[in-house]
Amino acid sequence: MKATKKASGEPLLKAYHAVFGYGRVPIIESVNLEIYPGDCIGLVGANGSGKSTLVRGLLGLLPPMTGQIVRAKDMSIGYLAQRNPQSDSLFPATVQEVVACGIHGHKRWDRKHPKHKHTGRSIASVMEMLKISHLAEHRIGELSGGQHQRVLLARALVMNPQLLVLDEPTSALDANMRSEFYALIQELKEEGVAILMISHDVSHLEHVIDKMLYLDRGIQFFGPTQEFYASDWLHRYEGGVGTACPAGSQSESAIVPSSASQAGGALLSQGDLHVGGTTLALSDARARENTSSLSAPQGGDA
């Protein structure tokens, strides 16, 4: 299995005083952060706090109202969407076909952009790594929650992403499957893959992630996990105390336009979005319709 290069002192992504919102309404105020190879970051916040908006902005799907986002040249991004079981029950593709979609999207992009080449893992090696080889000919709708999650993760990993974004990755998993999933995340982190994990599973994140990003209409905390767990911010989050939707204001979900809304709570739908010099492989067995109207920043990529 090909390993991603370990941290060399250069961040994959940097945000400088970035403000994200829709129309003239800001949702996230003044974002300043850096993501390095091998980082494992947990993103937490109450509903409406702006998690989806922040991730869309960091990935280049939502241009900053002010400030700047700088991404490493030709950075590859894998995305594992929050699972919606109902949307996959009748999906006709086999497991192997779903995993292969991660490569086919890059091939289409590479033909149009010859200088933008990626060397990925083989489909067989990824499926073997995730212990789903025996499911190759099964329909995606026949799988259990844990198997389904591994298939979509395989699709995200097949092109060897430098940054992996996970949206509630353990929501459909039981305790045993959750432990196995976190062990896999640890392995990817040791390879140098940067991971941004959106999760409400705070009680299980302490020994998985290195940094915590607590969002409440702006970054309230971004630092070592142990410091977050020892701080008052954890109590504020667990107690639901915050300014995510103060009286007289609207939450993120109330402001986000319909073109940016997602079925089943996922940030994005199936497809391969290519933002500037960045390749974004979306791992979700759903329709592409919700991605058609997304716009990318006109500048800011390094």
Each domain of the chain, given as residue ranges in start order, spans 13-291
Query: Higher pLDDT residue, 156 or 265?
Result: 156
- Over 60: is that where the pLDDT of 80 sits? yes
Q: Output DSSP code: residue 139.
A: B
Tokens in use for 211? 């940094």
Q: How far apart are CA 272 and CA 78, in angstroms?
A: 10
Judged by average pLDDT, the poorest of 29-33, 89-93, 162-166 is 89-93
Kind of pairing between the strands at 13-22 and 163-167: unpaired
pLDDT at 245 over 50: no
Give ∠ CA 271-297-68 in degrees, rounded to 5.
130
* d(C-alpha 55, C-alpha 267), whole Å: 8
Reported as type and span, the H/E element at residue 25 is strand 25-35
d(CA 289, CA 176): 35
**13-291 is classed CATH 1.10.1040.10:** no
Which pairing describes strands 219-224 and 211-215: parallel, antiparallel, or unpaired?
antiparallel
Q: Average pLDDT, stretch 232-236?
A: 84
pLDDT at 31: 94
- How would you classify the pairing of strands 194-198 and 278-283? unpaired
pLDDT band at 35 (very low <50, low <70, confident <90, very high): very high
pLDDT at position 137 = 94
Residue spans of beta strands (DSSP E) within the chain: 13-22, 25-35, 40-44, 66-71, 76-80, 163-167, 194-198, 211-215, 219-224, 271-275, 278-283
Q: pLDDT averaged over the chain?
A: 74
Tell me: pLDDT of 20 over 60: yes
Return the CA Rg of the chain. Answer: 18
